[in-house]
Amino acid sequence: MYQPIVGADSRYPVGFEALARWMSPTLGCVAPAKFIPVAERAGIIGRITQTLLKKALEEAGKWPVGLRLSFNLSADDLTSDEGIASIVDIVARSAVDPERIDFEITETAFIQEFAFDRVREAVLTLRRMGCGVSLDDFGTGYSSLSYLHALPLTKIKIDRSFVTGIHNNPSSYKIVKSLFALSKDMGLDCIVEGVETDAEMATVRSLGDALLQGYAFARPMPASQIDAYLDSAPSVCTEGPRAGRVPLIS
Ligand code: C2E
Ligand code: CA
Ligand code: CA
């Protein structure tokens, strides 16, 4: 599935995040929070990542060239030599410019202390290819600031827990406001995740220009719906690949 990431002002998509689903003949649609940890424990996440990344790049190759692809990586993808080598290989073979790809990593990749140097090396490898690297679920771990300090990141994604009810919660408001300032000072883009309501959207927008993602804009959708979504994307498009284009449906 693909969920748009939109500009706070234009509300026009700048890219999509690929979100895995498993259609099991017996279990139906299984959420990634269920099957990804199992695949990690079973030692097969590398193969799943390869399959998903190939599929996502194939789809992204059909989008207008200004649109980016965000892709989630697991700890194993970053800490095993084969993991990162296969990702580099898949990106190199794809028709999508590496500069259009953002890999999303979380703090769980660093749980084992020895992994830090490996993760740093992996992030450097992805950056050297031209890809962006985002720190996902920012603020939920114990050491988000250390990673921000030590890794050559390009984006942070502020976790949904700081956004839910932000219009009624002064501490969430202050945290998100401070993270906007921090990301700006550090020259990083900032994505606010999990914006669900108009009230949350209005409060976040009042704090400055960022990228937003959440049910308030669109739920994750199958690739087949992306064209129709782009044509009906709300608001006047002032930035991105369809700048100046009048949406077909408003
Ligand atoms: P994530 O990377 O933080 O992705 C955001 C999750 O929040 C997605 O859940 C998305 O559907 C959901 N979401 C988006 N907007 C809203 C909103 O406004 N409200 C609420 N309540 N939820 C929202 P999903 O698709 O179930 O994915 C869950 C997690 O599974 C992801 O969290 C990510 O950590 C992991 N995941 C998904 N796809 C992959 C993948 O291909 N590889 C790996 N390694 N992990 C993946
Ligand atoms: Ca993510
Ligand atoms: Ca997240």
Nearby residues of 192 by Cβ (< 8 Å), 6 or more positions away: 157, 158, 163, 176, 204, 210, 211, 212, 213, 214
Nearest CA to ligand 1 atom 37: 19
Tokens of 249: 């449906």
Predicted confidence at residue 236, as pLDDT, reads 47
Predicted confidence at residue 247, as pLDDT, reads 40
Predicted confidence at residue 249, as pLDDT, reads 31
Predicted confidence at residue 36, as pLDDT, reads 94
Write out residues with Cβ below 6 Å of ligand 1: 3, 18-20, 31-33, 36, 52, 72-74, 104, 136-137, 160, 194-196, 213-215, 220
Q: Which atom of ligand 1 is nearest to the CA of 56?
A: 41
Predicted confidence at residue 159, as pLDDT, reads 96
Q: Nearest ligand to the C-alpha of residue 194?
A: 1
Q: Are 74 and 84 a contacting pair, CB within 8 Å?
A: no
Nearest CA to ligand 1 atom 3: 137
Predicted confidence at residue 248, as pLDDT, reads 35
Predicted confidence at residue 146, as pLDDT, reads 85
State the angle between helix axes of 81-93 and 115-129 in degrees (0 to 180), rounded to the nearest 10. 10
2-245 belongs to which CATH class? Answer: alpha beta
Catalytic site includes residue 59: no
Write out the DSSP string of 104-129: EE-GGGGSSTTHHHHHHHHHHHHHHH
Helices (H), 138-236: 144-150, 170-185, 198-206, 226-232
Q: What does pLDDT average to in each consecutive run of 10 residues of the chain (250 residues)?
A: 94 96 95 94 95 98 96 93 94 98 87 80 96 94 84 96 96 96 95 97 94 97 96 63 43
